[in-house]
Amino acid sequence: MSRLDVAALREEFPILAAEVHGAPLVYLDNAATTQKPQAVIDRVARYYTEENANVHRAVHALAERATDAYEHARATVARFFNAAHPHEIVFVRGTTEAINLVADSFGGLHVHAGDEVLVSVMEHHSNIVPWQVLCARAGANLRVVSMTDEGELRASDVADALTARTRIVSIAHVSNVLGSVNPVRDIVRLAHERGAAVIVDGAQAAGHLPVDVQALGCDFYAASGHKMFGPTGIGVLYGRAEHLESMPPYQSGGGMVGSVSFEGTSYAPPPYRFEAGTPDVAGAVGLAAAVAFLERIDPAEIEAHEADLCAHAAAALGTVRGLRLVGTAPRRIGVLSFVLEGVHPHDVATMLDRIGVAIRAGHHCCQPLMDRLALPGTARASIAFYNTREEIDTFVAALAGVREFFA
Ligand SMILES: Cc1ncc(COP(=O)(O)O)c(C=O)c1O
C-alpha cells in the first residue's frame, strides 16, 4: 500500500469532486490529459491579475515581473528534469511541437540521403509523422524496431536495428497504450556507441516516474505540461546545450534574433533562438506551479502508489469474463488497455461514461501499434496519483456490467 495521503491530495483538485451524469466522477483518462490542482489554476489567474505583460521586451515594472516569472518557470522545469542549465529548456506547445522542432532543426542538420532514423512500433503518431516528413525531405529511411507480444521493447532489439547510418533514435519513455516503461538508459548507451542521438518522448513519463535527463544521458527529452498537471498549450523540450547551440531556428520572427537587417540577421542564443514570437507566459508559470506541486510529493511514492493501483486494476480486470489486457510488459505503469469480447471499445467507454467513469477508446494515435496488435482499437484506463482503489473497483464493477449487458 502507498504512503501517499491521496484523500488530502484529491482535495486540491477541484474537478475531482465533480459529478458526471449524476454520479461521482471517476477520472481514468490521465494519459490523454491530467487534471489541474488549485495551485496551478490560481497561479495562472494571479499571473493575469498581477503580472501580465510581454516578456524580454520592455523595461517597465510589469514586463520585468512577467519576464522574471517566465525565466523562473524555466529554472523550475530545468530542476525538475535535472537539466544541467535552465538554458537547456525550450518552452514549446507540447511534446508534438518538441519532436517537430528536433526533427526539423537537428534532423535537418544531421540526417541526409541514405541515413536512417529509428523509432519503435509502439510510438505515438507525434513520434512517427515528424520523422516521416524529415526522411521524405532528406531521402533518408525510417526504420522501425518491433516489440514482444507482451509489449516489451528490448534494448537488444534496438541494438540489432542500429546501423552505421542511424543518425537519430526516437523512443517513448512510456507507451501511451501499453504502459510499458522502455529501457531508455540502455538504448541511449547503445545508440551513442553507434554515434546516433536519442530523443525521448516523455509525454507519459513526466509526473509518473522520476525523470533525470542527465542520468538517462539522452540528447533531447520532450514532455507536455497538460499531462503533468499543468496547463494546456505549454510543453518542454530539453536539449543538451551543445546540440541546441549548433542547431538552426525552427521558426523565425521576433524574440529569436540577435539583430535584423535586410542584409542579414543573426540569431539569439538558445533557448531564445527556438522561441519565436510571444511565448505562452501564463502556461509556463502554470507549469512551474504544477512542478512545484509535484515537488512537494516524493516521486518514489507517486510511483509506488500508481504501481499499487496498476497491480490492483490488472488483477481485478482479470476477473472480468471475456476481457483481455493488452500490454503486459514486465516494467509498466498504470496505463491499462484492454479489449472486451463482443463489445466495441467505444461502446465500453460510452457505457462507463453514463455512470461517471471517464476512460478512452480508439487507436490512441498509435495506428501502427494497432496494426502490430491486429486490433482496430482498445479501451484504455489510465491512472494518476490521485486515483484510488475504490475508483478502480467502481470501474471494474461497471465493466462487468457492460459485459453482461452485451452478452
Ligand atoms: C506518448 C505520447 N507522445 C506524444 C503525445 C503528444 O502529446 P501532445 O498532444 O501533448 O503534444 C502523446 C499524447 O497523448 C503521447 O501519449
Q: Could you report the per-residue pLDDT of 315-345, keeping only the tens digit for each?
A: 999 999 999 999 999 999 999 999 999 999 9
| Each residue's pLDDT tens digit, 101-127 | 999 999 999 999 999 999 999 999 999
Q: What is the pLDDT of residues 77-105, one digit of tens each?
A: 999 999 999 999 999 999 999 999 999 99
Residue 377 has a pLDDT of 97
| Dihedral angle, C-alpha 39, 42, 46, 47, nearest 10 ° | 70
Q: Which ligand 1 atom is at minimum distance from the Cα of 176?
A: 16
334 alpha carbon – ligand 1 mean position (Å): 16
DSSP 210-254: ---HHHHT-SEEEEEGGGGTS-TT-EEEEE-HHHHHHPPPSS-ST
Say what percent of the chain tops pLDDT 90: 96
CB of 201 closer than 6 angstroms to any ligand 1 atom: yes
Looking at the predicted structure, is the pLDDT value of residue 158 above 70? yes
Unique residue bearing C-alpha cell 497504450: 177
95 pocket-lining for ligand 1 (C-beta < 6 Å): yes
Q: Measure the CA angle with vertex 91, ends 86 and 94; round to 5°.
A: 135
What's the Cα-to-Cα distance from 141 to each of 103, 136, 137, 205, rounded to whole Å?
13, 8, 10, 28
- Which residues touch 82 (CB under 8 Å, ≥6 apart)? 211, 212, 213, 214, 215
Closest CA to 4 of 300, 339, 227: 300
Pocket test for ligand 1, best of 153, 177, 365, 367 (most atoms within 8 A of CB): 365
The CB of 270 under 6 Å from ligand 1? The reply is: no
Q: Which of 53, 359, 102 is nearest to 250 (CA)?
A: 102
Instruction: Determine if ligand 1 sits within 6 Å of the CB of residue 100.
Output: no
95 CA closest ligand 1 atom index: 11
Cell output for 286: 502554470
**pLDDT value at residue 407:** 79
Torsion of CA 131, 86, 211, 336, to 10 degrees: -50
User: What does the pLDDT average to over 272-281?
Assistant: 97
Residues 6+ apart with CB under 8 A from 407: 322, 342
- Identify the burial level of 365 via C-beta atoms within 10 angstroms of its C-beta, where 0-12 means exposed, 13-18 middle and 19 or more buried: middle
Any catalytic annotation for residue 310? no
pLDDT one-digit tens code per residue, 183-222: 999 999 999 999 999 999 999 999 999 999 999 999 999 9
pLDDT at residue 166 in the model? 98
Q: Hey, what's the cell of 117? A: 532514423
pLDDT band at 58 (very low <50, low <70, confident <90, very high): confident
| 162-183: average pLDDT | 98
Query: Ligand 1 atom closest to Cα of 364?
Result: 14
Average pLDDT over every residue of 259-272? 96
Enumerate helices (H) and strands (E) in the chain, giving the number of each: 15, 17
CB-based contact 391:359 (threshold 8 Å): no
Residue 57's pLDDT band, with cuts at 50, 70 and 90, is confident
Residue 13's pLDDT is: 98
Q: Which residues make Cβ contacts (< 8 Å) with residue 95, sequence separation at least 6?
A: 124, 126, 201, 202, 203, 222, 223, 224, 227, 235
The C-alpha atoms of residue 115 and residue 164 are separated, in whole angstroms, by 9
What is the rounded (10 degree) CA torsion for 312, 316, 317, 318?
110
The Cα angle at residue 116 between residues 112 and 117, in degrees rounded to 5: 110
Protein residue with its CA nearest to atom 12 in ligand 1:
203
DSSP three-state, residue 337: strand
pLDDT for 404: 86
pLDDT per residue as tens digits for the range 278-295? 999 999 999 999 999 999
* Ligand 1, pocket-test mutation among 30, 100, 122, 126, most atoms within 8 A of CB: 126
pLDDT value, residue 2 = 63
Q: Is the CB of 204 under 6 A from ligand 1?
A: yes
Closest CA to 48 of 293, 291, 280: 280
If you average pLDDT over every residue of the chain, what do you get? 96
Nearest CA among 30, 8, 28 for reference residue 393: 28
What b/e readout covers 264-283, taking b as 16+ CB neighbours within 10 angstroms?
eeebbebbbbbbbeebbbbb
> Is the preceding omega at residue 24 within 30 degrees of 0, hence cis?
no
Across residues 19-36, what is the average pLDDT?
Answer: 98
In terms of Cβ atoms closer than 10 Å to its own Cβ (0-12, 13-18, 19+), residue 81 is buried
In tens, the pLDDT along 379-398 reads 999 999 999 999 999 999 99
